[in-house]
Amino acid sequence: MPRPVHVVSLALALMLSGVAGAADEPKDNRKPVDVDIWVIRASTKSKDISPELKSFADKLKQRFKYTGFRLERKIKETVDLGKTLTTSLTGGYQALVTPKAREKDKGAERLALQLQVLKEKEKKPRMNIEYKLEAGAFQPFGAWDLEGGDVLIILLSAK
Q: Do 22 and 35 belong together in one domain?
A: no
| Res 81 pLDDT > 70 | yes
Q: Do 16 and 43 belong together in one domain?
A: no
Helix and strand element counts for the chain (H, E)? 3, 8
Q: Do 44 and 21 belong together in one domain?
A: no
Q: What is the pLDDT of residue 107?
A: 83
The structure's pTM equals 0.80
Classified as helix, coil or strand, 81 is coil
| Res 40 pLDDT > 60 | yes
Q: Do 9 and 60 belong together in one domain?
A: no
Q: Do 18 and 48 belong together in one domain?
A: no
| Res 9 pLDDT > 60 | no
- Residues 12-25: tens digit of each pLDDT: 344 444 444 444 44
Which pLDDT band holds residue 105 (cuts at 50, 70, 90)? confident
Q: Do 4 and 53 belong together in one domain?
A: no
* Percentage of the chain modeled with pLDDT above 90: 75
Q: Do 75 and 38 belong together in one domain?
A: yes
Q: Are 100 and 114 in contact (CB under 8 A)?
A: yes
| Res 72 pLDDT > 60 | yes
Q: Do 19 and 47 belong together in one domain?
A: no
Q: What is the pLDDT of residue 6?
A: 44
Q: Do 78 and 154 belong together in one domain?
A: yes
Please report, for residues 2, 8, 16, 21, 24, the alpha-carbon distance to residue 11 in angstroms, rounded to integers and kept in the order given: 13, 5, 9, 15, 20
Classified as helix, coil or strand, 39 is strand
Residue 142: give the domain boundaries.
31-158
Quick one: three-class SS letters along 97-109? EEEEEEEEECCEE
Q: What is the pLDDT of residue 28?
A: 55
Domain count, the chain: 2
